Amino acid sequence: MTSHKDEPIITEADWSLHQKGEQDQRRHMEKVKEAIKQNLPDIVSEEEIMTTDGNNIVKIPIRSLDEYKIRYNANQQQHIGQGDGDSQVGDVVARDADATADGEMGENAGDQPGEDVYETEISLTDIEEALFEELALPNLQQKDESELTITDIEFNDVRKKGLTGNIDKKRTILSALRRNSRDGKPTIAPIHDDDLRFKTWNDVIQYESKAVVLALMDTSGSMGPFEKKLSRSFFFWMTRFLRTKYDHVEIVYIAHHTRAKVVTEDEFFHKGESGGTICSSAYRTALSLIEEKYHPHIYNIYPFHFSDGDNLSSDNKNCLTLVHELMKVSAIFGYGEINAYRRYSTLMSAYRQIDHPKFLHYILRRKQDVYHALTHFFKDRAID
């Protein structure tokens, strides 16, 4: 016979207060957010993001969240597996993505040998939160017809009349107490109608000026896949940034090769073109739009032009003139050039002569530069 204390004991406790895993997971998520910030240049240029429809969760490699150990180089490591009896040397047992690391013993399904970055799932909102915090429309001026926007309400006033739901109990009791003590009885009851106090709110109003962004993109034959990807990525984030942060910013998309035309957002992001390059065509289209629809007294105007700089040489002079004309009516003029190999760029060599505070340019050489271009152009700055 076993002693009594050796009898097995079965219990079922209430574990609802045991939330350690959740707590440490929250700290982990904080670290993920920190890591997003640190890795923004890489994350912003992830192609996968552009192909999501906006609300999706994206899987993004974040290096800084790995738990680093001294470990073997997974690409060289030999692993052991078991077949069902007829395996042969040379048989493929797994493709890169679906083998499990041994030593892990299948506990971490989905980890493959060679995986050296921690892939975390983050929502687009998390990325935007981190990215857009840094961005602002530069040189935004108060225009004649500003839009009123109620951005928030603040409970910052107390009145004698109001909605019952907004009753301020503390102040009501205090005033009743005060009045009762004046009558010689320092008690809360009775509370008279006159004692009631209500919290009321005021609207927080911000004046937001109207603005229009003119997105000009080179779609000529010389724009290769890399150039197109970077331009679209820039305009993708620009669009999302403006829509998130500003209520009254219009965006007009202009695609050009030798001729320019206003296109829809969908065409702008998804349609390819070809042919030679005459950039002045885009500037002309922009100027005529401004004249017809976006008067500079009412609108802050932001033309952004992205190109590989491979312009028809004879057109450069026109471009210079038109850029100056655009700058007269615009808040700034932004020129982004995608030039990975430091090619000679006809357009940029002409633009180098421009010495004007409104002329901003950025040359993108690597995909991470999409982020740098965004922070370069959308920096809160005032220009006289």
13, 148, 163, 189: which one contacts another protein (CB under 8 A)?
Answer: 13
Taking CB under 8 A as the rule, does residue 314 contact another protein?
no
C-alpha angle 43/263/331, rounded to 5°?
70
Taking CB under 8 A as the rule, does residue 1 contact another protein?
no
**Residue 35 main-chain phi, psi, to 5 deg:** -65, -35
Cβ proximity to another protein, 2 vs 353, nearer residue: 2
1, 51, 71, 292: which one contacts another protein (CB under 8 A)?
Answer: 71
Cα 171 to chain centroid distance, Å, stands at 44
Least CB distance to another protein at residue 116 (A): 6
52, 56, 87, 141: which one contacts another protein (CB under 8 A)?
Answer: 87
Cβ proximity to another protein, 114 vs 296, nearer residue: 114
Maximum CA pair distance of the chain?
105
Q: Provide CB contacts within 8 A for 239, sequence distance 6+.
A: 215, 251, 265
Rounded Cα–Cα distance for residues 151 and 205 (Å): 6
Rounded Cα–Cα distance for residues 27 and 33 (Å): 10
Least CB distance to another protein at residue 17 (A): 11
39, 45, 100, 345: which one contacts another protein (CB under 8 A)?
Answer: 100
Stretch that binds another protein, among 42-50, 96-104, 202-210, 264-272 (CB under 8 A): 96-104
Place of tokens 């969908």: 266
What interhelical angle do 124-132 and 20-38 show, nearest 10?
50
The CB density around residue 71, as the number of other CB atoms within 10 Å, is: 9
96, 154, 193, 266: which one contacts another protein (CB under 8 A)?
Answer: 96
Stretch that binds another protein, among 85-93, 253-261, 286-294, 343-351 (CB under 8 A): 85-93
Taking CB under 8 A as the rule, does residue 84 contact another protein?
yes
Least CB distance to another protein at residue 192 (A): 50
57, 74, 188, 204: which one contacts another protein (CB under 8 A)?
Answer: 74
Taking CB under 8 A as the rule, does residue 27 contact another protein?
yes
H-run or E-run covering 320: helix 316-329
| Tokens standing for residue 173 | 């009791």
Least CB distance to another protein at residue 95 (A): 6
Rounded Cα–Cα distance for residues 184 and 206 (Å): 49
Rounded Cα–Cα distance for residues 281 and 262 (Å): 11
Cβ proximity to another protein, 12 vs 193, nearer residue: 12
| Distances, alpha carbon 379 to alpha carbons 57, 274, 373, in Å | 28, 33, 10
Q: Which residues pair with 212 in a beta bridge?
A: 250, 301
Taking CB under 8 A as the rule, does residue 102 contact another protein?
yes
> What x/- string results for residues 169 through 208 when contact with another protein is judged by CB under 8 A?
----------------------------------------
Q: What 3 state SS string does 206-247 have?
A: EEECEEEEEEEEECCCCCCHHHHHHHHHHHHHHHHHHHHHCC
Cβ proximity to another protein, 99 vs 262, nearer residue: 99
Stretch that binds another protein, among 68-76, 178-186, 193-201, 360-368 (CB under 8 A): 68-76
Least CB distance to another protein at residue 56 (A): 17
- Give the footprint of another protein on this chain (CB under 8 A): 5-13, 15, 18, 20-28, 30-31, 65-96, 98-110, 113-114, 116
